[in-house]
Amino acid sequence: MYNAARFRVVLIRRLFLRQAIKEGTMRTAMIFLAASTATLLLSLGTAQAQQTKKGKPCSNLQAQCAVKVGGSCDPQTNRWRYSEGQAMRFNDCIATGTRQQ
């Protein structure tokens, strides 16, 4: 996903810069370049923060409630799920858990 997003940003940036240079609006091109670079750096920082998140997998309240109501949690990806029929019990578990914390 990172490579595809980066490719799109680079492609859009190049197309915009070419057009801006042709039209002579270098100031607009530089603003766009700065904005797209800042966006790319922010998204990379967020992705890095999510990858280096410390803690045990499936230890958050949502994951514990999903398992408690009969759903599952994958410890490798830290993704949890439950079926639609368990939504009421899941919401009750979340409400009880947030009151206890």
- Could you read off the pLDDT of 50-62 as tens digits, one per residue? 544 556 788 888 8
pLDDT at 81: 92
Query: Residues 69, 89: contact at Cβ < 8 Å?
Result: yes
Q: Is the pLDDT score of 69 beyond 90?
A: yes
Query: Residues 63, 80: contact at Cβ < 8 Å?
Result: yes
Rounded-to-integer distance, Cα 28 and Cα 55, Å? 44
Average pLDDT, the chain: 75
- Could you read off the pLDDT of 16-35 as tens digits, one per residue? 766 666 666 667 767 777 77
User: What residue type is assigned to position 98 of the chain?
Assistant: T
**What is the mean predicted confidence (pLDDT) over 24-51?**
66
Query: Residues 5, 35: contact at Cβ < 8 Å?
Result: no
Q: What's the whole-model pTM score?
A: 0.44
Task: State how far the alpha carbon of 14 is from the alpha carbons of 18, 24, 35, 36, in Å.
Answer: 6, 15, 14, 11
